[in-house]
Chain A
């Protein structure tokens, strides 16, 4: 009898049931047949999604009202490639899910005269297919193309990648070098935040409980500009970056000096960071291999603050920052000269 209660409790809390099953299989089979049926009527005994209320607002305004109503308790669902996994693994819990997929405005890329606006629910596949992204924001396209695998890219959204705020996220270095403004909307109106000040730490952003990230504004680069992104992982697909770097460069076509340059480093600090020392080191220098090598050295020594983890050591990350900074700058330079 005690055994029965123990088992029912386990089932109710949906925790450790698989370990439990394997350990007490013999008892379970003889005494608890009806329980097996109740667990298996859906075929599964773990990894089920918890129960939640589901909302599908059709406008940003409605979504904000819902978010305000439930304050921090509601979660926004865009692509679902992070949220549903975290819910299944019981890493987060929520009683209210607000799906953004019915809000058409959020999944569009709008091209204006001197900037583009990317909706928060634009998927990585959409980014990759967009002509303006291919032509003017190649580093962002490369970032998006390296995220997960093609199945994930068909669902994963740029807003989700940014709100996830992983220091190793694929689109973030590119967004940093393109001087992205994050568009937030709340009950009191809209605000724009530079992406540098958007992240507070791994998984932490400055979004308030009643705000929604609606999109990103990226100024269109002028002539003689180039950008490149390189990520380093253990595989080519479905992996989390050990290091990633994006560089943006603007050249004076006359004397080939560097007019403007931005470098962003990922997975070497609590958030993706700009490499300001390396940028300063490059300004007004003649663009050549030595200058790029030295910028890489500065980024390696002064800008990055990596840690050891199971993906790579701090030492390795530091070394790779030097190499990748140089390589991204070289490719960005070639692109700028080709224009």
Chain B
């Protein structure tokens, strides 16, 4: 059984017919080809499929595409523009916060949402904000430093120390 859904992804409006048993992660990857959103565990444990849905981060593997009808979604593909990478992405590159890179899209979406809501989170808040995203390379320290360097207090140059 297919349903027509309308949704905005990275400021582009899509109208698409989807099977009701398609998850949002599968819809993004296999119907729209937005493969930046990764699928790790598919059961909401790892956070690799994190997207921002109506201003809140969610595991897109645990949302049905039909449930996202009418929603505004941001994925990793929406961050960079013609001027180059998003500052947060640039910080991940500069701080070496990417190893195999599989968790990075999810981690970056989580940290973007965290910084959108609070431009100067405390160390504890950063850790809590990233607690839903697992990095199996275990490069958490560098990820933390990259996010910390984007806090409004640290942008001047004194980059995040733990």
Q: Which A residues are within 8 Å of any B CB, using their own CB?
A: 42-44, 47-54, 56, 77, 79-81, 84-85, 88-89, 97, 99, 101, 125, 148-152, 154-155, 236-238
Contacts and interface: CB of A to CB of B under 8 A. Distances in A.
Contact of A53 (B1, B26, B67, B133): B1
A236 B67 contact: no
A84 B26 contact: no
A43 B30 contact: yes
Nearest to A145: B128
12 contacts: A44-B26, A51-B19, A56-B66, A80-B67, A81-B62, A84-B44, A84-B62, A88-B43, A99-B66, A150-B110, A151-B50, A154-B57
B23 A49 contact: yes
Nearest to B47: A151
B1 A80 contact: no
A74 to B, nearest CB: 14
A247 B56 CA distance: 32
A151 B26 contact: no
B132 interface: yes
Given A49-B22, A54-B1, A238-B131, 10 more contacts: A47-B43, A48-B21, A49-B23, A54-B66, A80-B64, A84-B23, A99-B67, A151-B57, A155-B58, A155-B62
A12 to B, nearest CB: 16
A85 B43 contact: yes
B20 interface: yes
A81 B21 CA distance: 15
B131 to A, nearest CB: 4
A55 B130 CA distance: 34
Interface in B21-72: 21-23, 26, 29-30, 42-45, 47, 50, 56-59, 61-64, 66-67
A237 B43 CA distance: 16
Contacts of A99: 64, 66-67
B44 A154 contact: no
B106 to A, nearest CB: 9
A148 B43 CA distance: 12
A85 B23 CA distance: 11
B160 interface: no
B29 A151 contact: no
B121 interface: no
A238 to B, nearest CB: 7
Nearest to B55: A154
A238 B63 contact: no
Interface string B130-151: 0111000000000000000000
Contact of A152 (B29, B44, B110): B44
Given A42-B30, A49-B23, A52-B20, A151 B67 contact: no
A101 B59 CA distance: 17
A81 B23 CA distance: 12
B3 interface: yes
B23 A150 contact: no
B55 to A, nearest CB: 10
Contacts of B63: 80, 155
Contact of A236 (B56, B129, B131): B131
A31 B115 CA distance: 52
B42 A88 contact: yes
